[in-house]
Chains A and B, each alone.
Chain A
């Protein structure tokens, strides 16, 4: 069909229809709206600004839930009748689909109040025939207005579309709504940009990395205490684990006693959170579990999930108390302080090694270790070895990610992709083991005489069988992915990136040759 493409315009003001109509007079045309009334709206986003980062705004009014993607479309669905926090809580609709895709696990939190006017303008000719439509949204906050206009061309009216686009283009001032409306956008990221210099001493680089991760830990505390969503705990734990890993993996950089003390500190801090995270993971996949077992096992599964929820709530109270305690605050602050100044960090024998060479050597050794282990895995390998492989892969991943700023981003990313593919299966394999163990524990803890004991036991039996089946399937997939991981191509890529000595020699040889 011969239809021009829709165009989008942004204005740092309201839509001046009078002005547009003055210009349209020459063409014997008018732009007419429906005089829609402004509505009160709330801007929502996640803690990590997922909506903003996707170049969109999410606004809830009394009647609608609207996403405005400034280079794309306005998507709306009826506002839910009850309070909601998560995309999954929303009734079926296009906005739900979009948000589920954007951030399936995070809570959407109110950020600002705005006034919103939505309208569809018609560009009319002198016969009052519509020749083009313009969908508009105007948002106002504290005396500032930002408008978004998107043309909807009509078949057979190319010229009219061109005309209105021309006018709007001249009026356009494409500033983003956050700037115009002075919306505060969260700068939180779980993956902070870390800047390292290749010749800095390893101790300095280590401090930079640890500081960045500890900041992530600290930023997650308020949301975790308020229990806004499960990601706060998850990212709090991941950041601490990364710190712990990098300290251990950067072998010889920190003095042994300091390292041992720190490791103990981390164990203390994280101990109380293990149970809560484990139950969170369970509860997040509640629907999947119900889908796994036949309907007759559902009542029993209901009992199980009540039990898990109860345990989770108790675990949360413990974590909350811990995080709010003076002891924790003192401990975490003292850890942060330790890494503030590299010179104050008690050093080990490798503290002054140049960062890049040091890191490259570590990665290469670790990769070779993983390859040796991977090469030994067959259909008959015991589960323990697969768990060991998972841990080694995790270490390798943390190591590469920590040292990433010292190497070529693109090359590192492509290697990480292969690693992540393998890790996904190793992760599921592990989850299924852990979950089978948790189920067994639940059965032990629940009194045999309780009214639902039989139903619970049956549902646990059904679930365990299904998990075991899934685990077998994951094993198969792990072996399938392994060969790719230690293939000659991947090995070459690792060597090219991390075998600095050989690469340097090769380059020198090439120079001699030429």
Chain B
């Protein structure tokens, strides 16, 4: 089982779109895949039409790891399951901090589903919290969408600094460019600048596209309805790159 986190310490960078499409591409290439919607503002569940059920909203939800497994929902797509977000995910951090002993609590929480999945993708909340920190520790890789702007460049730098301060492995971070507008010379220049200083940046970049934005109307991964569109196909290519890095 491989655990890949999709994380950004800045919102609105196409993180959820990437998570949803990477998970879909992973399932399509034959991996039994679980997408965990850990971002309360995110909409992974929305894109799969999965409602957060009443039961999941209760606070006792994360008391036992078994309940965690019970919350999993099969999506309409083969090989692809979803752990939907719910209100108590806001308390997910608190839940983790309550489990005092082990520092790799997330690992423990994922234990009951170990073996059922080949790939677990985490759509992480856009902040640095105990949850994110746990993710940083246990994930096999962290893919970070970056809009090639000066502001994003700065946020990425902050993430690396945080990793350094905490002693986390920065080699797990794999940034990729998201919502790229080729008509903007600033985008192209920033991409150039970031790539020069960082060998871990993935080759594939995701163009800005209305086809991707339409996911909200289709309520399905863009790859499932628009794989022929260049911007959408970039996700398939991104998955190929991620797969080469983590799935052997």
Binding site for B on A (CB under 8 A): 1-2, 122, 125, 127-130, 154-157
Contacts and interface: CB of A to CB of B under 8 A. Distances in A.
Contacts of B76: 122, 129-130
A446 B174 CA distance: 76
Contact of B49 (A1, A2, A127, A154): A127
Given A127-B51, A129-B48, 4 more contacts: A1-B69, A129-B76, A155-B73, A156-B70
Contacts of A1: 69, 116
Nearest to A130: B76
B116 A156 contact: no
A125 B51 contact: yes
Contact of A2 (B48, B70, B219): B70
A127 B116 CA distance: 27
24 contacts: A1-B116, A2-B69, A122-B76, A125-B49, A125-B51, A127-B49, A127-B51, A127-B219, A128-B49, A128-B219, A129-B48, A129-B50, A129-B51, A129-B76, A130-B76, A154-B73, A154-B74, A155-B72, A155-B74, A156-B70, A156-B71, A156-B72, A156-B73, A156-B81
A156 B49 contact: no
Interface in B31-67: 48-51
A127 B47 CA distance: 11
Interface in B68-124: 69-74, 76, 81, 116
Interface of B: 48-51, 69-74, 76, 81, 116, 219
B74 A157 contact: yes
Given A156-B71, A156-B74, A157-B74, A129 B49 contact: yes
Contacts of A2: 69-70
Most A CB contacts (10 A, CB to CB) among B51, B74, B81, B116 go to B74
B73 A157 contact: yes
A155 B51 contact: no
Question: Shortest 5 CB-CB distances between A and B: which pairs?
Answer: A156-B73, A129-B49, A154-B74, A155-B74, A127-B49
Contacts of B81: 155-156
Nearest to B49: A129
A1 B32 CA distance: 13
A275 B233 CA distance: 67
B57 to A, nearest CB: 15
A125 B73 CA distance: 14
Contacts of A157: 73-74
Nearest to A156: B73
B212 to A, nearest CB: 21
A122 B71 CA distance: 21
A2 B76 CA distance: 18
B81 to A, nearest CB: 6
A1 B50 CA distance: 19
A55 B3 CA distance: 45
Contacts of B70: 2, 156
A128 B75 CA distance: 12
A405 B76 CA distance: 57
A5 to B, nearest CB: 15
Contacts of B71: 156
A288 to B, nearest CB: 36
Contacts of A127: 49-51, 219
B58 to A, nearest CB: 16
Nearest to B66: A2
A304 B48 CA distance: 64
A122 B75 CA distance: 12
